[in-house]
A = this chain, B = another copy of it.
Amino acid sequence: MAKRVKLLDVAKAAGVSQGTASNAFGKPDLVRPEVRERIFAAAKELGYRGPHVMARMLRTGKAGALGVVFPDNLEYAFTDPVAIELLRGIGRECAQQGVNVMIISAQNQQQAIAAVNNAAVDAFLVHCYSDNNDIIAAIQRRNQPLISIDTDIAGAAGTVALDDFAAGKNAAQHLLDCGAKRFAILSLQATDHDHFGPMNANRVGAASHRVVRERLAGYHAALAGAGIAPSDVLHVECDNQSDHSAKMTAELLASHPEIDGILGMSDVIAIGAIDAARISGRKVPDDLKVIGIDGIAAGERTDPPLTTMYQDSVEKGRLAAEMALSEAPGKTITLKTTLLLRGSSKPL
């Protein structure tokens, strides 16, 4: 491999200084058209490939890229529909600002830390459920703007989140409005530790995932209004995968046939519940009402289609990217959800 042609070579060949040659590429207005052409000609002649990206980065300190990390989710980022919508919004804003998107990929926590340290980016976007995490610590050590999505991270430059309490409350209220009386909650994991199945008061109290805590609190707030105490509600933790929630739902319906309202803490979970209900012969929404949270496209294609509290995940991602890329972030944005009424529920 021949030695790389560099700016100095071009400058010499064109009979100008290195600085002028640099300007010809980076700030064309600063150099007389005539000279500029001479420089370009010399560049073409020598086969100069344009300014070296890494050298430029070192000099300017700008990477031109935004790092995106899913600490809970490293290998699943491209599987979870909500994560993909976030990415779509992030990509949109980054495209708009001429910045690339760097996905931090790793197989485990330790590799993720290395990946974070190897990433040439100007800022980080983190989507996660809890903030006590070595990956997050590694990101913070880099001392670059860090915007968190969905979870407050101590010391973050900004946060974009959902009004999860309202989402939960409105979801539960809607099922009450549909006449449901006996509820089951299919919840996301409340802590980083895998734990499936029935949830007790202890685990609820210890829930380290803000999103889970808030949505739960919202559910119970609405149910309390109808005189239903937390202890009257079944509560099961699921993996955020439809297969898994379907299995949990099947068991739940078998052991507790009286259930007539299912609160799914995500659409992915709720979709599994609808599948299980249909298979077990329950009529949705007549015998059983189901509501999710998110509003993913797949919810349109269940049988019946899924009623849900819709959030604009694309916009959430876009806003987070915008914040990360802005000079002075430092706010918290809280987004709202809206009821998206489809077939899995029916108001009285």
Interface of A toward B, CB cutoff 8 Å: 49-50, 52-55, 57-58, 61, 63-65, 74-75, 77-79, 84-85, 87-88, 91-92, 94-96, 98-107, 111, 114-115, 117-120, 141-143, 298, 301-303
A119, B301: Cβ atoms closer than 8 Å: no
Which residues of chain B have C-beta atoms less than 8 A from A118's C-beta? 53, 64, 98, 100
A75, B95: Cβ atoms closer than 8 Å: yes
Contacts A65-B102, A74-B95 known; list 20 others, CB within 8 Å.
Answer: A49-B143, A53-B117, A53-B120, A54-B54, A54-B58, A57-B57, A65-B119, A75-B92, A75-B95, A77-B91, A78-B84, A78-B87, A78-B91, A94-B105, A95-B111, A98-B111, A100-B103, A100-B105, A298-B298, A301-B301
Give the most central of A53, A79, A298: most B CB within 10 Å. Answer: A53
15 contacts between A and B (CB under 8 A): A53-B117, A53-B120, A54-B58, A54-B63, A57-B57, A64-B119, A78-B91, A91-B105, A95-B111, A98-B114, A100-B105, A100-B115, A101-B105, A301-B301, A301-B302
A56 nearest CB neighbor, chain B only? B118
Partner of A88, one of B79, B106, B301: B79
Using known A-B contacts A100-B103, A105-B94, determine if residue A61 contacts B65 with beta carbons closer than 8 Å: no
What is the distance, in angstroms, from A45's C-beta to the closest C-beta of chain B? 15
**A303 CA to B55 CA, complexed, in Å:** 55
Give the most central of A49, A54, A58, A101: most B CB within 10 Å. Answer: A54
A93 nearest CB neighbor, chain B only? B105
B95, A99: Cβ atoms closer than 8 Å: no
**A292 CA to B136 CA, complexed, in Å:** 43
**A77 CA to B89 CA, complexed, in Å:** 11
B91, A75: Cβ atoms closer than 8 Å: yes
Which residues of chain B have C-beta atoms less than 8 A from A55's C-beta? 58
Which residues of chain B have C-beta atoms less than 8 A from A87's C-beta? 78
What is the distance, in angstroms, from A124's C-beta to the closest C-beta of chain B? 12
Which residues of chain B have C-beta atoms less than 8 A from A117's C-beta? 50, 53
Partner of A141, one of B49, B61, B75, B111: B49
A104, B115: Cβ atoms closer than 8 Å: no
Q: Which A-B residue pairs are the 9 nearest by beta carbons?
A: A78-B88, A95-B105, A54-B57, A101-B103, A64-B118, A301-B301, A54-B58, A58-B58, A91-B105
A103, B103: Cβ atoms closer than 8 Å: yes
What is the distance, in angstroms, from A46's C-beta to the closest C-beta of chain B? 14
A95 nearest CB neighbor, chain B only? B105
What is the distance, in angstroms, from A104's C-beta to the closest C-beta of chain B? 6
A141 nearest CB neighbor, chain B only? B49
